[in-house]
């Protein structure tokens, strides 16, 4: 099902990263180079999708070091991405190869990704691999670039969302067939794979009846029954990019008036949240828009999580959409809007779309109907 996808703009990413070296360190000073240890960030900068590697970024060169399993793959993927990088294959510690490059380049201050370096790595970097080099923490240098998606990235997320939409349409009738939560999740996951997904964005959530009041419940062997509200939260992956969508369905008739009212309130809150999204709007204001509607219905305490999050190469990225977020959304951000109400005696309701932010508002990438 996956259609031809437009290319991504790899070539500009390294330049945008090195432009930030002047004030990159957490102490506010500059760095001479950045050691990238997050495999997701390495993929973003180079197109390399292996499971092991380390990337040195200097203003003059990219050096990618990986092991012998990935030599041909890395060569092909760098060429396909149009990235000019020196590739080294190392059977032993990859950072030892990088250490030589750091010395040759005269690097005095080497930035580390503070969120992606273990204590053990830091000790080896300090004691063995980068003697005489000042190691300085940086935070979110690549992740900040990843917030704004180019057209190729949006196309991949949209393709993943289309697969999820179609898969749900093909299996949703099975909610009335007495399946367990685990069985329904498996059918949905399998259909997404059949339609061309590389995998699922995360472990599919299916919460029926009282289980729906547990927002991130793993599917159980509980049988889905008439009168249940069923929360289904799922997504597909296309070329590394994730989609995310939640729908809540009533199996048969609503069991009571409270269930119906929960769905109505969350639908209103979610629609208002989506309508509030536009470039230049504070993420906390989007959260507040949803939260006020749910609080007015008397269920403010039952909305127990943030309104949304960024989506891309990872299912949870910046910007975060919550009452404590200090982010301002930008054109090109891809975020979710997913308010919810959770009442154990009645079940749970969450409705979620993934949208791409535009100057005027936003465009939904997930298109499955919210009512049936």
11-145 shares its CATH topology with 151-364: no
Question: Are 335 and 319 spatial neighbours (Cβ–Cβ below 8 Å)?
Answer: yes
| 8 A C-beta contact, residue 157 and residue 311 | yes
At 23 the pLDDT is 86
Whether the pLDDT of residue 165 is over 80: the answer is yes
Distance CA 162, CA 355 (A): 13
Quickly state the pLDDT bin for 32 (edges 50, 70, 90).
very high
Q: How do residues 334-345 score in pLDDT, each as one tens digit? A: 999 999 999 999
Mind listing the pLDDT tens digit for each residue in 335-372? 999 999 999 999 999 999 999 999 999 999 999 999 87
pLDDT of residue 28: 77
Give the pLDDT band (50/70/90) at residue 204: very high
State the burial class of residue 237 (Cβ atoms within 10 Å of its Cβ: 0-12, 13-18, 19+). buried
Percent of the chain having pLDDT more than 70? 98
What's domain 151-364's architecture? Alpha-Beta Complex (3.90)
Contact 234, 245 (CB under 8 A): yes
Please provide the CATH number assigned to the domain covering 11-145.
3.40.350.10
Kindly report which listed range (47-61, 81-95, 150-164, 179-193) carries the lowest average pLDDT score.
81-95
Write down the pLDDT at residue 93. 66
**Domain map of the chain by residue range?**
11-145, 151-364
| pTM of structure | 0.95
The mean pLDDT value for 291-308 works out to 98
């Amino acid at each position: 099902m996956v259609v031809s996808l437009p290319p991504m703009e790899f070539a500009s990413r390294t330049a945008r990263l090195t432009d930030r070296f002047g004030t990159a360190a957490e102490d506010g000073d500059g760095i001479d180079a950045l050691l990238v240890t997050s495999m997701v960030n390495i993929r973003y900068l180079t197109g390399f999708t292996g499971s092991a590697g380390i990337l040195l970024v200097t203003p003059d060169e990219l050096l990618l070091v990986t092991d012998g399993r990935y030599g041909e793959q890395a060569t092909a993927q760098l060429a396909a991405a149009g990235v000019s990088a020196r590739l080294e294959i190392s059977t032993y510690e990859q950072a030892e190869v990088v250490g030589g490059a750091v010395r040759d380049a005269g690097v005095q201050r080497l930035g580390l990704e503070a969120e992606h370096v273990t204590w053990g790595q830091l000790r080896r970097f300090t004691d063995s691999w980068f003697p005489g080099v000042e190691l300085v923490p940086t935070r979110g240098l690549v992740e900040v670039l990843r917030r704004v998606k180019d057209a190729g990235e949006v196309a991949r997320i949209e393709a993943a969302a289309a697969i999820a939409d179609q898969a749900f349409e093909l299996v949703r009738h099975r909610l009335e067939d007495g399946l367990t939560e685990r069985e329904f999740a498996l059918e949905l996951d399998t259909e997404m794979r059949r339609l061309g997904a590389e995998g699922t964005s995360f472990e599919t959530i299916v919460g029926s009846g009282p289980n729906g009041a547990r927002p991130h419940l793993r599917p159980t062997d509980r049988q889905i029954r008439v009168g249940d509200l069923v929360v289904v939260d799922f997504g597909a992956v296309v070329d590394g990019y994730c989609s995310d969508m939640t729908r809540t369905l009533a199996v048969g008739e609503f069991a009571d008036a409270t269930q119906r009212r929960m769905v109505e309130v969350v639908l209103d809150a979610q629609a208002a949240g989506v309508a509030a999204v536009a470039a230049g709007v504070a993420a906390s204001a989007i959260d507040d828009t949803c939260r006020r509607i749910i609080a007015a219905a008397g269920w403010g305490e039952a909305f127990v999580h943030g309104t949304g999050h960024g989506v891309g190469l990872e299912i949870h990225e910046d910007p975060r959409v919550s009452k404590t977020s200090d982010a301002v959304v930008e054109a090109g951000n891809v975020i979710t809007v997913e308010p919810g109400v959770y009442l154990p005696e009645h079940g749970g309701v969450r409705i979620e779309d993934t949208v791409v932010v535009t100057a005027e508002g936003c465009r939904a990438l997930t298109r499955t109907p919210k009512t049936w």
